[in-house]
Structure 1
Amino acid sequence: MQLLLAPMEGLLDFVLRDILTRVGGIDRCVSEFIRVTNTLLPERAFVRVVPELLNGGRTLAGVPVRGQLLGSDPQCLAENAARLAGLGPAGIDLNFGCPAKVVNRHGGGAALLDEPELVARIVAAVRRAVPAGQPISAKMRLGFNDDSRAVECALAIAEAGADELVVHARTKADGYRPPAYWERIQDIRAAVRIPVIANGEIWTVDDALRCRQASGCDTLMLGRGMVTDPGLALAIRAEDGTGAAAVPLPWSSLQPLVGAFWQLVCLQLEPRQRAGRLKQWLNFMRRCYPEAELAFQALRTETDQAKVTAWLQQNNC
């Protein structure tokens, strides 16, 4: 089984990718989307979202990263994909799944799933613009308001030249409300001739095994579940027989990673973002770790960087 780390705007950025891939178990990452709107972006715009481009397209732990593009103009996306490809990512991913209203209002992300012909033109244009050895993947939801065109959209992506397809098993209208409809991915797998990856609502090892059975996919993409439980990928591998025996990742193993995350946040992000980003991650992890709950409560109203640093150091982070 292969395990991928999902792109999640405002959450799974390069800082958290760095930290989570240090834990282990992840085979590949996809970046947050790079928005393309009627212009050829400078190289620095790609590097800002995917700084791993300066490290051979890999995180510091050595995990490959694909850069994701979001837009609706085939020619403009193709030109930007060619520029991105020249920077050496592990591949290029196309976003047909973002449910954000501001993105959909401008015809991007999941809104494109109502226009499979345009989806096909986008994929074909990007495929033509990118060297043959550079893989092209796409991420889609089951649809916009409903899943009636899920197979049609998947076929449009596959037949236009994509090498791989990730399916988030919900529509835009479903948002992130459970459940995820993993069995619908099975219908897509039966229709296309490229590898299909299942995504959505995988919080635990049991979820991963049920998703694999329902979807028929041997590769899964983890998002919020991995943020909540950084040891999830290792635990899935253990249960699947492709890793060491399953041992829950103790908080003592996470403490230095929380400290490293805070250091990176302070180095890489604007001051106004720093405390919020730490609390955002702790808020997820408190579902699994009582210690994260204690840290969250202790820091929830704190914005002073020096005081946050002092608290973390006092608590071995």
Structure 2
Amino acid sequence: MSLIYLAPMEGVVDYTLRDILTASGNVDHCVTEFIRVSERLLPISVFYRMMPELHHGGKTHSGVPVFAQLLGSEPSVLAENAARVVELGAPGVDLNFGCPAKTVNKSRGGAVLLKEPELIHSIVSAVREAIPSSIPVTAKMRLGYFDKSLAIENAQAIESAGASTLTIHARTKEEGYKPPAHWEWIAKIRDHVSLHLVANGEVWTPEDYHRCRQVSGCADVMIGRGMLANPFLADQIKQGQDVSAASDEQWIALIPMLERYHQQVIDDLSERHVHGRIKQWLSMLKLGYPQASRLFDRIRSERDPLSIMETIRAEREHYSVPAE
């Protein structure tokens, strides 16, 4: 059976959104936002803050397993932190070799490590040795930094170091998120490694999903922005639905999700950061929902989180949606 993975999108897909997007049961696997590891063993509180699912078996409330994603460049320190998060109950550890953010790459994290296959091997190997063999070590990478010349070598380094699964975002760091995603490169990599591969990149519709699987040769697919733009995408894929224009019925189902998400962000973040999270999600929803575009326009310049909540509640009342 093919699996759908929810992508770890830093600054957006936090534990509340993981919980919301997995509630239907049609997402099979999640990974946390990256947990930055630099020079020391992180306090336990950091792991619980980034991955509250540790309090209930490393799973979302609907039972979807969540792996802890670590980002850094020091093998021994990453290994130490991997052992800590596994002791706390993480069912697996994922390693980030794909983040394209300039600030992350400048600190020698994420996609910049794709220039150094030997270091990638050392990181994966150290983490694999540090945790029990029963706990999976997985990784996520892009096709390269400047170009794709080291794509196969990096995948082979990750495999030979002991990772069991590799998710490949089918673009380089330089290509960012510009279409197209080069799914055919995942197929090329498959010819040189035998570990489990998961395809990722530019999946917005069920049609994209099926074409990605066909071109990449991967049974399993990770979806990020497509799931934010259409929270029902996994359901539509699993249920074999055709996607038509977003309906009021779908939007009505979304409003309580928006309200719940914003309330949790209010509870968790400092006031000066709260307004950005809901705007980020609405910016993605605008791609498929004209209703989201109208709601976004009403809160675009608003910075007070409580005023934003009142606007969301007014939207619920407009459509006569009962409160959760």
CA shift for structure 1 position 246:
5.1
CA shift for structure 1 position 201:
0.9
Runs ≥4 residues deviating over 4 A: 245-249
Indicate the residue corresponding to 2:202 in structure 1. Answer: 201
CA shift for structure 1 position 106:
2.3
Secondary structure of the 1:165 match is strand
Q: Is the CA contact (8 Å cut-off) linking 2:11 and 2:277 kept in structure 1?
A: no
Q: Is the CA contact (8 Å cut-off) linking 2:205 and 2:243 kept in structure 1?
A: no
Which aligned pairs between 1:218-229 and structure 2 lie closer than 5 A? 218-229=219-230
Q: Is the CA contact (8 Å cut-off) linking 1:117 and 1:156 kept in structure 2?
A: yes
Post-superposition CA distance 1:54-94 (Å, at most 9, x none):
12111122211100001111111111111111011121000
Matched, 1:96 2:101: no
Q: Where does structure 2 lack aligned partners over 5 or more consecutive residues?
A: none
CA shift for structure 1 position 158:
0.5
Output the TM-score relative to the length of structure 2. 0.93
CA shift for structure 1 position 46:
1.2
Query: For residues 247 and 95 of structure 1, what CA distance do their matches in structure 2 show?
Result: 32
CA shift for structure 1 position 307:
2.3
Query: For residues 12 and 262 of structure 1, what CA distance do their matches in structure 2 show?
Result: 13
Q: Is the CA contact (8 Å cut-off) linking 1:234 and 1:246 kept in structure 2?
A: no
Post-superposition CA distance 1:101-136 (Å, at most 9, x none):
122122221111111111111111100001111110
Post-superposition CA distance 1:118-174 (Å, at most 9, x none):
111111110000111111000000011100110111000001100100000001111
Q: Is the CA contact (8 Å cut-off) linking 2:259 and 2:312 kept in structure 1?
A: yes
Query: For residues 305 and 141 of structure 1, what CA distance do their matches in structure 2 show?
Result: 35
Secondary structure of the 2:185 match is helix
Structure 1 residues 210, 247: CA separation in 2 closer, same or farther (over 3 Å shift)? closer
**36-45 vs 214-223, greater mean Cα deviation:** 36-45
Query: For residues 106 and 272 of structure 2, what CA distance do their matches in structure 1 show?
Result: 28
Structural RMSD (CA): 1.4
Matched, 1:41 2:5: no
Query: For residues 254 and 38 of structure 2, what CA distance do their matches in structure 1 show?
Result: 39
Secondary structure of the 1:48 match is helix
Partner AA of 2:60 in structure 1: T
Partner AA of 1:112 in structure 2: L
Number of aligned residues: 312
Secondary structure of the 2:140 match is strand
Query: For residues 23 and 264 of structure 1, what CA distance do their matches in structure 2 show?
Result: 19
Secondary structure of the 2:138 match is strand
Q: Is the CA contact (8 Å cut-off) linking 1:238 and 1:246 kept in structure 2?
A: no
Matched, 1:84 2:94: no
Q: Where does structure 1 lack aligned partners over 5 or more consecutive residues?
A: 240-244
Indicate the residue corresponding to 2:283 in structure 1. Answer: 283
Query: For residues 307 and 45 of structure 1, what CA distance do their matches in structure 2 show?
Result: 30
Structure 1 residues 247, 176: CA separation in 2 closer, same or farther (over 3 Å shift)? closer
Output the TM-score relative to the length of structure 1. 0.95
Query: For residues 44 and 307 of structure 2, what CA distance do their matches in structure 1 show?
Result: 37
Post-superposition CA distance 1:28-62 (Å, at most 9, x none):
10011111111111111111111111121111222
CA shift for structure 1 position 247:
6.9
Partner AA of 1:251 in structure 2: W
Query: For residues 66 and 286 of structure 2, what CA distance do their matches in structure 1 show?
Result: 27
Query: For residues 19 and 58 of structure 2, what CA distance do their matches in structure 1 show?
Result: 12
Indicate the residue corresponding to 1:183 in structure 2. Answer: 184
